[in-house]
A = this chain, B = another copy of it.
Amino acid sequence: MAKITKINHIAILVSDLESPLNFWRDALGLELTQVEEVPGEQARIAFLPTGDSEIELVQPTTEDSGLARYLDKRGPGMHHICLEVDDIDGMLAQLKEKGIQLINEVAKVGSDGRRYAFVHPKSASGVMVELYELAK
């Protein structure tokens, strides 16, 4: 049986990176290790490791992406949580068998080789859940 190993990250949607960094980095003292442009998601992401996980601040860089529309509609706040899994194909099969609604029935592959898929919030207590299997 495929297993969840940890919380990989918590993604927080923001309209700009500067003012949130006042809180997460300057006041809380989390380290900002990287800011990455992710054209595939039309976003800029700030990474702040937190224990064995990360907090990610996600800023949409265009006005017509799904992220930008979500931000327009709801304002800044939690967007999704990402759980790391040892075998994403096994996990997706296991979720389908239990009748869980998936956004991605087959794992997608990121530029760094990690494989990921989203579970639909309808099946996950209203939470957008991402699953990651890191590249080996």
Residues of A whose CB lies within 8 Å of any CB of B are: 1-7, 10, 12, 14, 20, 22-24, 26-30, 50-53, 55, 57, 75-78, 81, 83-84, 91, 94-95, 98, 100, 119, 121, 123-127
Q: How many copies of the shown chain assemble into the complex? A: 2
> Which single residue of chain B is at the shortest CB-CB distance from A12?
B125
Q: What are 11 A-B pairs at a CB distance below 8 A?
A: A4-B50, A4-B51, A7-B10, A7-B51, A7-B55, A10-B81, A23-B124, A27-B94, A28-B91, A52-B52, A77-B125
Pairwise interchain contact A78-B1, C-beta atoms closer than 8 A: no
* Contact residues in B for A52 (Cβ distance below 8 Å): 6, 51-53
Of A23, A77, A125, the most chain B CB neighbours within 10 A belong to A125
